[in-house]
Structure 1
Amino acid sequence: MKRYVESVREGKLARRDFIKMLVACGLTVPVAGHILANAGIAMAASQSSYLPTKRGGGGTLKLLWWQGPTLLNPHHALGTKDQDGARLFYEPLAAWDPEGNLVPFLAAEIPSVENGSVDKDGKFVIWKLKQGVKWHDGQSFTADDCVFNWQYASNPDVAAMTSGAYAGLKVSKIDDHTIRIDFDNPTPFWADAFVGTRGMLIPKHHYEKYNGANAGEAPANLSPVGTGPYIFEFFSPGDVVKGRLNPDYHEDNRPYFDAVEMKGGGDAVSAARAVLQAGEYDFAWNVQVEDALLKRLEAGGKGTSEIVPSGDVEIIQLNMTDPTKQVDGERSSIEAPHPFLSDLNVRKAINLLVDRDALEKHIYGRSGPVAKNMLNNLPRFESQNTMHEFSIEKAIALLEEAGWKIGADGIRKKDGVKLKLVFQTSTNAPRQKTQAIIKQAFQKAGIETELKSIAGSVFFSSDVGNPDTYGKFYADMQMYTTTMPQPDPKDIMLQFLSNEVSSKTNKWQGRNICRWRNEEYDKLYAQSQSEIDPIKRANMFIRMNDLVVNDVVIIPLVCRNKVASVINGLYAPLSGWDSNLWILKDWYRTS
């Protein structure tokens, strides 16, 4: 048994296969879940895997988010930290489980073509709401709240971060516990609005006076009133969030913990140590550290690393524009092609100089298997038409053939242009080690590289006056993780559309940061948004993936599995397709 548990921990054996083995031996699913929980390994959550027989009694659950949330309105969440902070108190109609399946929360059931609530032509979906649900202030949750959330998120004056999920549709009330969503166009992926990280619902009666340009003034932005398992108690932005058990929660025997505390601050390494070495916290979020360090910390016996696949991928972006030339006061302008990255041969050579196997082996390990595609861990969308190869010799031959010759200073040049580039990323130990590995290979091929690391709070900022944001991309190459918020590619693949180019005009908020433009890609993406046939639609996304990868617009490095540090005995199921706290209501301690 111990050997099989270790295989699950190391990612060699899938949790679901381990559960099947135990069930085949005569054990029940709850018992199988209990075995994994005692080993600090979470399994996919289900009603049958939850063991506590009463509400409360579990003491305080101590969570560590090394980037603490700064506000608690899910519609204005600035990234994962704010989404997770809001998820302590707010819930969506449905969430995504580890296998990418929908699980009902505030919905009474999951819509489907079979039960008549999803139109086979993708024109509408009907959601039936769970009855008897109360907001934390005692008022009833109804269809009116859902309609309001659509009105709020789609109001341009509100400037909601979730607006994309509620665009191109209309939400109407059928009765107090039923809503209908009508789409402007046939919509194959209908499970976006009201689902997952962008689907958390806020109460109409607390926000209807703030449905406009005054949205930021709503008191509930900092003191939320939700339907979730915990009731808000205290919030110090960037520092700590506290909640207490909801005695009227709409599911029996939940939650198990009497209180929850989410502490912010520090860094990924200190967060991992706080759980795995010191045992001061029960759970640490997003521990982006080398796998070798995680294993050393795990050896102390106080906790383990919970690792689940996701659609997130660490990539290198290549700038198709010149970051040094100004056009009408704008650098990296689409009017100024890059002096050498516009050459496909140079991009192909750079691709050959990235040793992805070394990154997996020496840095990421269990948390980052090699990626060769933009779309990963979704079999129907994964391309078989791409490959990855590391060869300094082939890269040199390609550059030579393309006319890039070594100069007296050891740097390749052509027509007076030298292969000298700036490679930037956020300050993070694995990323700095990745930069160093790549620079070494570049140097052997005659490419000079200046490495630049920028504090994450600056690099990922939306400050229009900051020259070092990833959206401005004032460098030749940059590296970070691009995320897939749900098990469908429509959002992650937005970042290559021509009309999404990041520029001064849109305050560098456009998703297309590489500034790459391709007419075929644009047409395929447009067609995919209304293609109901799942096979045809999947093939469209595979072709889009191939265009981006084979044109070396980006270089996929590793699949970024979700990694958290979990204290021994904590049952904390994670999903790679939703918030870390997607099923917080089911967390409990086994010992």
Structure 2
Amino acid sequence: MRNVRLILAASVASLVMTTAPAMAQRGSDGDLKLLFWQAVSTLNPYLSGGTKEGYSSSIVLEPLAGFDEKGNIIPKLVESIPTIENGGVSADMTSITWKLAKGIKWSDGTPVTPKDVIFTWKYCTAPGGGCAQAAKFEGVKNVEAVGDDSVKVTFTGPKPYPYSAFVGYQSPVIQEAQFKDCLGPKAPECTAANFGPIGTGPFKVKEFKPNDVVTFVANENYRDAAKPAFASITLKGGGDALSAARAVLETGEYDYAWNMQVEPEVLATMEAAGKGKIITSFGSQVERIDLNHYAVDPSLGDKRSTKEAGPHPALSDPAVRKALSMAIDREVIVEAGYGLSGKPTCNIVPGPDAYVSTKNDSWCLKQDIEGANKLLDDAGWKKGSDGIRAKGGVKLNFLYQTSTNSVRQGTQALVKDMWSQIGVGVELRNIAASVFFGGDPASPDTYQKFFADVQMYTNNFDGTDPEAYLAGWRCDKIPSPKTGWQGENMPRYCNEAYDALSKKLSQTAKMDERVKIVKELNDMLTDDMAQIPLVYRGQPSAFANTLTGIKMTAWDSELWNVADWARKK
């Protein structure tokens, strides 16, 4: 039990958020201009796994608890963080009880109640709903009210790390009154609610134009009468990372731009203009190449990229998957596109440090063209007159897709050249980020549908514990038509041994054992080539020099404390 207490104590080491200096009055600093070059397609994070949707919705929607800039868990809608010591976590670790803070209201003036929290769980777990954040509720048996102000979450078994459901920007509480008719398959149809959720955050939605502009205004019912300092937020979407960086760092048209995936030397030149700065925070973000384990030939029709299509004719061969990884020079990719904001990695869990595995570094971090060629030769993939390998009538020709961005297109070109050296042909494709990450079940171009052989993007987990994140590679998390193409398991990886080990992690209390299992799960994904990790990415964003109160984090939404942002006087 002592080990469990140490884990919980470490997670709640700091419960008080440091804030900016007291503000004169709410709304005194005018309009805050934000720029997301990946435009926002919905303000419901349960219908999209995209970071842009999660960050933008965090301006309005809040979880019971979140994480600060150091990764410490902090109260949001509750009085304090439940622990074993204060009785909030049961001694047998099978439940956690959250007590709502007094006076918390929705932006429409109605009180937040345990019913809203209970409904949120039902919303994400409703059959046919395809909740994009289902892993957050993994192992939750029941959510019930305890009196008028508390919510008890009961787990299917002991849950040594109980801070998953309703914790972090990916798992906010939504209002039952607004979403009550949006359960299951009806969820995507509730356009008004998905585009204008009623929340508890410092701002509320005024107008939303999908894939274009979101206008927020200060929430008059926000719990701190002096906040936010800004009267409104204009969040503009679209363009590209380069123009977004310029708009903050050179022209000063915007106050903040998210995700500055721009060549490092270009950013350095822009910063010299003196209008803004790049702030980078390392957390758990990994740029990776997914390898589709299912067949994707267009002739398969509705079965394409589903289990019914059968295994991928080439990528189902472990030798092919490993050779693709061996052929990549990660150092070159980092140098060309990331500079000091990137590090080569072969892990899908790159941090915190305690969880970082070194098992595959010896063969994976160093490019080995000769070894990759030998591996394919030995597996019977022979080069034809066109230089492309083939076996049994199947050629190693792959469609490689990603979102539109200069760094990503640069990486695509580098990888294509590297793969050509081992007899692999590549067709490159890039898709507008607003579409690629949008989650529209009607679109053929989303990363959830994955109508390609390989695809590249990044994501991460909030907080410092990867349990829920690693659950995303379980067999039941594979997107499909039955789930509205939602689900975290984009590569369609399915391994019963992995599923069992993931469930064991959720029941393991001792820290040293948890670390061991996390590393084993990470190594299993790399050994099996569920995907190819490339770069451990910092999160670089651009901030105007006129802003104060910024506390950059990679453990939660970068807008986690936007209520404290203000204009320098």
Q: CA deviation at 1:391?
A: 2.5
Tell me the TM-score normalized by structure 1: 0.83
Q: CA deviation at 1:306?
A: 1.7
Which one of 265, 290, 293 corresponds to residue 266 of structure 2?
293
Alignment of 1:519-530 (within 5 A): 519-530=496-507
Which one of 242, 245, 250 corresponds to residue 277 of structure 1?
250
Which one of 14, 20, 26 corresponds to residue 50 of structure 1?
20
Say whether the 8 Å CA contact 2:278–2:541 is kept in structure 1. yes
**For residues 65 and 204 of structure 1, do their structure 2 counterparts lie closer, same or farther at Cα, with a shift above 3 Å needed?**
same
CA distance in 2, matches of 1:495, 1:208: 27
CA distance in 1, matches of 2:567, 2:445: 43
Equivalent residue of 1:114, what SS? coil
**For residues 405 and 206 of structure 1, do their structure 2 counterparts lie closer, same or farther at Cα, with a shift above 3 Å needed?**
closer
**For residues 274 and 45 of structure 1, do their structure 2 counterparts lie closer, same or farther at Cα, with a shift above 3 Å needed?**
farther
Q: Supply the AA of the counterpart residue of 2:327.
A: L
Equivalent residue of 1:197, what SS? coil
CA distance in 1, matches of 2:127, 2:563: 33
Instruction: Tell me which residue corresponds to 1:6.
Output: none
Residues 504-529 of structure 1: CA deviation (Å, up to 9, x unaligned): 56565454443443332122122223
Instruction: Tell me which residue corresponds to 2:69.
Output: 98
Which of the pair has more CA radius of gyration? 1
Instruction: Tell me which residue corresponds to 1:579.
Output: 557
**For residues 342 and 380 of structure 1, do their structure 2 counterparts lie closer, same or farther at Cα, with a shift above 3 Å needed?**
same
CA RMSD of aligned residues (A): 3.1
Q: Which has the higher mean CA deviation after the structures are superposed, 407-416 or 168-177?
A: 407-416
Alignment of 1:360 onto 2:334: yes
Instruction: Tell me which residue corresponds to 1:124.
Output: 95
Q: Supply the AA of the counterpart residue of 1:316.
A: I
**For residues 354 and 109 of structure 1, do their structure 2 counterparts lie closer, same or farther at Cα, with a shift above 3 Å needed?**
same
Residues 141-190 of structure 1: CA deviation (Å, up to 9, x unaligned): 34343334334444447765455534633222223332222223222332
Instruction: Tell me which residue corresponds to 2:319.
Output: 345
Say whether the 8 Å CA contact 2:384–2:390 is kept in structure 1. yes
Q: Supply the AA of the counterpart residue of 2:166.
A: F
Instruction: Tell me which residue corresponds to 2:537.
Output: 560
CA distance in 2, matches of 1:405, 1:533: 49
Q: CA deviation at 1:462?
A: 4.5
Instruction: Tell me which residue corresponds to 1:145.
Output: 116
Instruction: Tell me which residue corresponds to 1:315.
Output: 288
CA distance in 1, matches of 2:301, 2:39: 38
Q: CA deviation at 1:291?
A: 2.0
**For residues 163 and 498 of structure 1, do their structure 2 counterparts lie closer, same or farther at Cα, with a shift above 3 Å needed?**
closer
Instruction: Tell me which residue corresponds to 2:3.
Output: none
Q: CA deviation at 1:247?
A: 5.0
Say whether the 8 Å CA contact 1:422–1:475 is kept in structure 2. yes
Instruction: Tell me which residue corresponds to 1:330.
Output: 303
CA distance in 2, matches of 1:173, 1:252: 28
Q: CA deviation at 1:549?
A: 0.7
Equivalent residue of 2:421, what SS? helix
Alignment of 1:192 onto 2:164: yes
Alignment of 1:65 onto 2:36: yes
Instruction: Tell me which residue corresponds to 1:589.
Output: 567
Which one of 353, 374, 387 corresponds to residue 348 of structure 2?
374
Q: CA deviation at 1:102?
A: 0.7
Instruction: Tell me which residue corresponds to 2:174.
Output: 202
**For residues 245 and 534 of structure 1, do their structure 2 counterparts lie closer, same or farther at Cα, with a shift above 3 Å needed?**
same
Q: Which has the higher mean CA deviation after the structures are superposed, 247-256 or 562-571?
A: 247-256
Residues 286-328 of structure 1: CA deviation (Å, up to 9, x unaligned): 2222222222211211111121112221111223344338668
Q: Supply the AA of the counterpart residue of 1:347.
A: R
Higher RCO, 1 vs 2 (CA within 8 Å, ≥6 residues apart)? 2
Instruction: Tell me which residue corresponds to 1:84.
Output: 55
Q: CA deviation at 1:64?
A: 1.6
Where structure 1 has 5 or more consecutive residues not aligned to the other structure, the ranges are: 1-43
CA distance in 1, matches of 2:131, 2:320: 40
Instruction: Tell me which residue corresponds to 1:29.
Output: none
**For residues 474 and 240 of structure 1, do their structure 2 counterparts lie closer, same or farther at Cα, with a shift above 3 Å needed?**
closer
Alignment of 1:7-22 (within 5 A): none
Instruction: Tell me which residue corresponds to 2:397.
Output: 420
Instruction: Tell me which residue corresponds to 1:108.
Output: 79
Residues 549-571 of structure 1: CA deviation (Å, up to 9, x unaligned): 12333210012322211001323
Say whether the 8 Å CA contact 1:307–1:366 is kept in structure 2. no
**For residues 260 and 169 of structure 1, do their structure 2 counterparts lie closer, same or farther at Cα, with a shift above 3 Å needed?**
same
Query: What is the number of residues matched between the two proteins?
Result: 548
Say whether the 8 Å CA contact 2:402–2:456 is kept in structure 1. yes
Say whether the 8 Å CA contact 2:286–2:460 is kept in structure 1. yes
Q: Supply the AA of the counterpart residue of 1:174.
A: V
CA distance in 2, matches of 1:589, 1:368: 31
Equivalent residue of 1:198, what SS? coil
**For residues 590 and 90 of structure 1, do their structure 2 counterparts lie closer, same or farther at Cα, with a shift above 3 Å needed?**
same
Where structure 2 has 5 or more consecutive residues not aligned to the other structure, the ranges are: 1-13
Alignment of 1:166-177 (within 5 A): 166=137, 168-177=140-149
Tell me the TM-score normalized by structure 2: 0.86
Equivalent residue of 2:321, what SS? helix
Q: CA deviation at 1:129?
A: 1.9
Alignment of 1:510-525 (within 5 A): 510-525=487-502
Say whether the 8 Å CA contact 1:58–1:258 is kept in structure 2. yes
Instruction: Tell me which residue corresponds to 2:218.
Output: 245
Say whether the 8 Å CA contact 1:210–1:218 is kept in structure 2. no
Instruction: Tell me which residue corresponds to 1:180.
Output: 152
Instruction: Tell me which residue corresponds to 1:10.
Output: none
